[in-house]
Structures are given as structure tokens and as C-alpha cells.
A and B are shown apart, each in its own frame.
Chain A
Amino acid sequence: MFAYIARRLSAVLIILLGSSFFVYNLEAYAGDPLEELRLSNDPKKEQMILNLTRQLDLNTPPPLRYFKWLGGLLGGFTGNFDLGKTRTGESVAEQIGTAIPTTLRLVVAATFIAIFLGIAIGMITALRQYSRFDYSITFVSFLFFSLPIFWVAVLLKQFLAIEFNNWLAAAELSWQWVVGIGLASATLWAGVLASTRKKTAIVFASAFAVTAALLTFLGAINWFNNPGLGPIMIVGLGAGVAVGITVLSTGLGNKSALYGSLAMAVFGGIIYYPIQPLLNKDFSFLLLLALIGATIGVGLIAGWLAAKEDRSAVMRTTTLTAVIVAGFIFVDRLMQTWQPYTSNDYISYRPIPTVGQTNTLLQDELMANPDFWMSTLDALLHLVLPTVALCIISFAGYVRYTRGSLLEVLNQDYIRTARAKGLTERTVIMRHAFRNAMIPLTTLVAWDIAGLIGGAIITERVFGWIGMGTLFNKAITTFDLNLLMGVAILTSFLAIMANLFADLVYSALDPRIRVR
């Protein structure tokens, strides 16, 4: 094992050397960084050219210059790490250092949502193979596959931001919308839960009725402009989540898991008021982490107390429920901030922004008068459009992959064996099929996560974020060799490590595969 990793790592080093040498020379010979200056009419042109030539060391031929650059990179081992300077004299390492958090903020949520939704919907389509639901999702995922992100982005800006903000000014749902959304949700639920014709009809009708009633009710109490959950809703939603998670995790037959997780939902309602003073303006991320830790602790303890047998499964169920219920409380607190946020002068009732990472004017105000919830809500709302766009693009791949993988597993003999020995369908799907179907997905996930760091070039540009993609774009258009190499070496290093990591995880998960 260690010999294998060592061998792979040495290969990685050689490949990185080769690829960086290749990119360096490709870029160096492909264009002239002085071209812009040569064409200018500046009287001090000669002097500027000389300066830049000295600064970028252009008199050294590129292959030799590469080794100078490499010396700086390898200096990391002796503590003199140096990726060189950009054309404007800033440190490349620093620029990348500030860009990475931005990019991560942009892509992490989108990736996890896409993976979660993709796997969930992919599973349903596999279990309902050749149904109408399956065909529709297949079509939709092919459509999403074929969408250029810059095109989606423009549509989202128009309909999800501008039009939505316009609508929010009045926040009245016309009956056409209520019926339309109701029908859409009814179709979805009927597709997901379909079995016999009668049952499908019942699901369709009740989903339609519930959605339409809910929308009308929310519209009537002006919920959209003054949202909130409150303790009763938290208990109600929490109970729904508790049942849902129990069904998937242990099955409803396991009473201790069911009661344990229902207790978590009730506990969320009880703790709602006592915890509010803690969630004040001076809330911080450290406190948030502490509370997440406490939530997990409560969940684990509750599971331990509730379980008579099969402790780990029960604890898993209660902890998951506890975390989600705590999430509801968090969301509720953010919703309470909605009203002051939208009525703020800088927002002026247009909460969904089309570009930017944060509202700079609002941030200036918050610098003087910090409010954790305001800045969090601001950051989250700026994430809405890019996240939806990125999700739409990458979601399709996960759906198709999960579907294919799960169908392949479901045709295996051990699934037939599992069914034959009388296991419940839930156990067969979740424990025997799902786990094995997920193994090939590790490769895809690892690659995607690595690709994300350098990947969202177009998204960043369309939505005006300044992350790795913007740096890269700038490097190419201004012939900034050091900057380009800094970005390229990082992205290729991550890609190659993700590959190695995926192989190792794969062999750990699937004992049939051995690394040599």
C-alpha cells in the first residue's frame, strides 16, 4: 500500500514537472507580453518596455526562465516559497490566497446540493425505470447537459432575480400561479410515489390540494415579505423530517429510532424560545460551530438513550434529525432578518442581486455596526443565482451516473439473494444496492471537487465574482505568465491528487479492487 502510494506520488511529481514545463512554454511562445506597450503612443514607451522586460525577466529564453520559476516553487521545501510576481508587481501566492476562499464559497454549496439532489433523483429514476417519471427526468437531464452556463445565467438573472424582485414588491400570487405550481408539485410527487393507478391519483390530488392551500395561506398572511417558521412549524416540519429519515435509515418498524427522532423535533420546538437571545447580532462562526457540536451531541445522547438494540443505527437517525431541526432554527433566525434586510436603504426591496459577491455599500455599513445575521443573509442571497446555475449544470451528470450505476447493481445476483431471503425492500435498496452503487461515484465526486477550484471560470465572470477563474482569465488576456502558472500548477496538482485519492478510496470501498 505505502509502496503503491509512494510510486504514484513520484509519478505525480514527474507529470507535474512535465505539464508545467509544457504550459509555461506554450504560453510564453504563444504571445508577446510587451505587445500592448509596443503599440502604445506613450512618450516613455521605451523606458516602460525596458522596465517590464527586466521585471518579467524577458531576456532569458522561456525554457530557462521556467527553471528559475521552478526554483521559486521548490523553494517551498526550504521556506523560500516564491511563485513570482504578477505584471503589476503583486505576489502571485497572495493573489491566489485571496481568490481561493471566494471560489470555494461559490462552488462548495452548489456541488453538495447537486450531488445530493442528483443522487436522490437518480435513485428514484432507477427504481422507477421506464416510468413516465424516468422518461421525463431523462429528458430534463439531457436538456441540462446541453445548456451552456452563460446562457442559463442570463435567464436566471432575468427571471429569478429581476422578475422575482418585481413580484416581491406586491407579493401576490395570482390563481393561475397557484394552480400552476400546485400542478407541478402534484406531478412531481405522483411521479415519485407512483405505484397503482388509484394510489397515484390519490397522491396527485392530495399533493395538489396541499400545495395550493399552502401557497394561498402563505400569500394571505404576507409570508413572502415577512417570512418565518416559529416553534410550531419547526415541530411540524421536524416531525416530517424525523419520519422521512427514519424510513430511509432504519425503517418505521424500529420504534425506538422513530420516537427518538420525533423527540428531537419536539426538543427543537421547546428550545426555540430559550435559544433566541443567544442568536443575537454578535453571533459568530465559532459559536455556530459550538452549537453544531452541541446539536450532534444531543442527537447522539438521545439515540443512545432511546435505543434498546442496534444502537448505532438509532443514534445515526436521531443525530441526522437533530441537525436538520437545528438547521430549521437557523433558517428561522435568518428569515427574521429578512424584513430589516430588504427594507434597508441599500437593498430597497430588491433582495436577489444579479452580480457581485456582497453588497459593498451594505458591507460598509455593517463594518461600523456589525450584524452577523445581516452579513450572512447578504452573502447567502448573493450565492443564490450562481448556485442555482452551477447546480443545473452539474446535477444532470449525477442523475445519469447514479441511475446507471444503481440499475447495474440491481441486476446483480446478490440483490436477488437479498430479496429471496426475505429482507424488506428498504434494506435491499439502502443497504445492499445503494452502498455498492455509490462506489463508482467516488471517482466522479473526487474529480468534480478538484476541478471546481479552478473550474468556475465562466460562472465567476457572468456573476462578477473575483476568484480563481477571474485570476486565470486575467492571466491569459494580459499575458501574465507567473499568474497563469500559479493557477495552473495548483489546479493540475489538485486534479492529480484527486485521481490518486479516488483510486485509494475506491480500493478501500471495494475489496475486489486491489492496488498494486
Chain B
Amino acid sequence: MAKKNNIESTDSSAQGNENAIANKETEGLSQGQIVLRRFVRHRAAMAALFSLLAIILFVFTASGIHLGSEEKPISIPGWWHYSITDLPELQYESCPGGTVGCPTLNLVPFTENFGFGDHPFGQDDIGRDYFALVMRGAQQSILIMLIIGTLGGVIGTVVGAISGFYRGWIDTLLMRFTDLIITIPAIIIGAVIGFRVGNLGVMFLGLYLGLFAWTGLSRLVRGEFLSLREREFVDAARVAGASNRRIIFKHILPNAVGVIIVSVTLSMSGAILTETALSYLGFGVVAPDVSLGSLISLYQEAFSTRPWLFWYPGFFIISIALCINFIGDGLRDAFDPRQKRRITAKEKAAAREIKKAAV
């Protein structure tokens, strides 16, 4: 192998130099390791990944986790001392311009009120702590996003894999069914479902929305399976006596996993926007529970007088969706076999040195 590298590095074209660098880096690594390595090296995606994890951790520990019904609540308390049902008195002492319930968050170090204060994001009309509301809202939105992404991903993969692998009448049937679901505009499904089951809680909302969120992925996976099943390695596996199950799970699925992961990731940023849009229209999460969309919808009129009621939930929606988009982009680059890493000027110079030395 070393000899081969040597030959390549003496190749006179610039292309040869770049290939040599690229080949050296992936030598002796499995496909998974190469993908992981490429992803880790994608700075924007890594930053986004850590930011997202930090946001999730922050949001979930702040308000704690509250599941279950009203009679039998399963609650893990968080570190924030207000909940969304507490009604502390409206503060107005330090507020500018005669407003009430302004935020106490002060991130300028070494000033008088540096730190969180009692109501970092302020208070709403009736005095509820806005930090608690935003944390709860972000939690609900993230939860729904994860449920939709997972459910949509699983159903989409299964439907796409079955119809792409078995073809024939199964394929026709499943794809016509997919077309049927596609023709129903997503917002109609969301609204009909959300309007009816919104008050059953976020879990149900997420589940129902997830049941309709798989169509795009299933088409992608089907296309991928249709082309992969004709490849030589599948024939080889079949000749060696592998069962259909083994071929699907061991041979085809690992090759299609890139498409699936990227698509599911990107669909999640769509899911959080869909959820907030539905909640904004009043079809999603309904009072007394809150989501980021319903918070914005509730307080949009207050923008000119108390803008913080509008900024904070929006900030969380955008940062979550932005992080996911960057992660998805990084994953797409990492899984793309044609993707060549950008060769820096330094590396080019190093390659030139090697070439000179060889000559």
C-alpha cells in the first residue's frame, strides 16, 4: 500500500496529489468510521450538534419532565423554581417605560443585576413566569419533533424498503397508498388531527402527525432499494443462500442508511416548524399546555409594547431548527461518497513538497 501511495504522489497532475491525500486518510477504515470522521471534521455541524444537545439538556432540566394524566402525574421536578401554573405577582419596579413583567436576564458581566434574576424572560399578562412557559413550550415542541421524526422515519423506511425490494403488486399497492397520503396536503391532516386530538396531549399529537409524515422518505428509500437490489453484491449474497431478510438487513439497508438518516434529520426541522405553525393556528398544542408556536400566537400583539414575550419563543424555534439543518447538512456531506474534502493550501503545499522530494 505504501508503494502505491508513493506512485500516486509522484503523479504529475494536481488531481493525483489530491487523491493521494484523500486516499491516505481513509486507509484501513470501515465505511462507518469514514463517515464519522468526515462528520466530526465538519465544524459547523459539530457546533450545531453540541448546541442542540445543550439546548435539549437545558430545556429538559429546567422545567423537569411532566408526563402522565392529571390524576396520576409522573413528574420529575426541574431546577427552575416556577412552574407554568404558578402565579407570582407582576413585577414592575425596574421596568422601563411603565411596562410590567419585563425580563430580569442580564448577561453583561460586572453590572449590578448580572445573572438570571427572578424572571429572566419576564412575565406574561397574568404574571406567569415566562421562562417557565418558554422552557415548557420548547420541551413540548422538541418532544413532538422527535416523535414525528422517529415514527415517520420508521414507517417510511419499512414501506419504502418493502416496496422497493419486493416490487410487483406490493410495490404498486404501497406506492399508490403513498400517493394517496401525499395528495392530502399536510396542513389539512395536521389541522384535522390537531384540532381533534390536540387536547389529548402532545404525545398523541406527535403520534398522529408522525403517522402521516413518512411519504417523502418512503419514496426515497424505495428508489434506493430498487437500484441497490440490482447490484452485484446482492446477487452474490443470494447465490450464497442468504434469505430475503438477511439481504435486506445486512446488505441493502446499511447502504441506504445515509439517505435515511439525512432525510429523517432534515424532516425534523420541518416537523418543529409544522408543529409551531399548527399551534399558532390553534390546531396543535392547546391551553393550558403551551408550545413555542402557541406562545407566539398568544403574545404577538404585545410585540410593540413588550417585545420579550415574542422574541424568546422565536429564538428557541429558530435555534433548534437551525441546529438541525446544520447537522443534516453535515450528515449529508459525510455520507456522500463523491464528497471530497476541501484540500487546504497547506496540504497542497505539503503534497508539492512530497512530489519534489520524489523527483
Contact = CB atoms under 8 A, between A and B. Distances in A.
Contacts of B320: 146
Interface in B241-299: 269, 273, 276-277, 280-283, 293, 296-297
Interface string A430-466: 0000000000000000000001001101100100000
Interface residues of B, number: 41
Nearest to A496: B183
Given A27-B192, A30-B192, A476-B283, A145 B293 contact: no
Given A31-B195, A154-B300, A458-B277, A146 B322 contact: yes
> In the complex, which of the residues A19, A148, A491 has the most CB atoms of chain B within 10 Å of its own CB atom?
A148
A19 B185 contact: no
Interface stretch (A8-16, A43-51, A171-179, A227-235): A8-16
Contacts of A138: 329
A145 B265 CA distance: 14
B195 A30 contact: yes
Interface in A1-43: 11, 14-16, 18-19, 22-23, 26-27, 30-31
Contact of B303 (A14, A31, A154, A457): A154
A476 B280 contact: no
A18 B180 contact: yes
A137 to B, nearest CB: 13
B185 A488 contact: yes
A34 to B, nearest CB: 16
Contacts of B1: none
Nearest to B266: A145
A143 interface: yes
Nearest to A162: B304
A461 B281 CA distance: 9
B179 A496 contact: yes
Contact of B296 (A23, A151, A454, A461): A151
Given A148-B277, A473-B281, A491 B185 contact: yes
A23 B184 CA distance: 8
Interface in A80-105: none
Interface in B319-353: 320-322, 325-326, 329, 338, 342
Contacts of B179: 11, 15, 496
A451 B296 contact: no
A150 B318 CA distance: 12
A405 to B, nearest CB: 14
Contact of B318 (A146, A454, A473): A146
Given A458-B280, A458-B281, A495 B183 contact: yes
B24 to A, nearest CB: 22
Of A151, A154, A484, most B-chain CB atoms within 10 Å: A151
Contacts of A53: none
Q: Is the interface of A mostly helix, strand, loop or mixed?
A: helix
Given A145-B325, A458-B281, A476 B191 contact: yes
A196 interface: no
Contacts of B283: 476
Contacts of A130: 342
Nearest to B315: A151
Given A143-B322, A148-B314, A151-B296, A495 B185 contact: yes
Nearest to B269: A146
B188 interface: yes
A472 B280 contact: no
Interface in B158-210: 176, 179-185, 187-188, 191-193, 195-196
B310 interface: yes
A477 B180 contact: no
A158 B304 contact: yes
Contacts of B182: 495
B317 interface: yes
Interface in B81-131: none
Contacts of A411: 338
A216 interface: no
Contact of A23 (B188, B277, B318): B188
10 contacts: A11-B176, A19-B181, A22-B180, A138-B329, A146-B317, A148-B314, A150-B280, A162-B304, A488-B185, A492-B184
Given A14-B176, A461-B281, 18 more contacts: A15-B176, A15-B179, A23-B192, A130-B342, A145-B321, A146-B269, A146-B318, A148-B280, A148-B317, A150-B277, A151-B317, A162-B304, A411-B338, A457-B281, A458-B277, A473-B281, A476-B283, A488-B185
Interface of B: 176, 179-185, 187-188, 191-193, 195-196, 269, 273, 276-277, 280-283, 293, 296-297, 300, 303-304, 310, 314, 317-318, 320-322, 325-326, 329, 338, 342
- Top 8 closest pairs, chain A to chain B, by CB: A146-B321, A492-B183, A30-B196, A146-B322, A151-B314, A19-B183, A142-B325, A18-B180
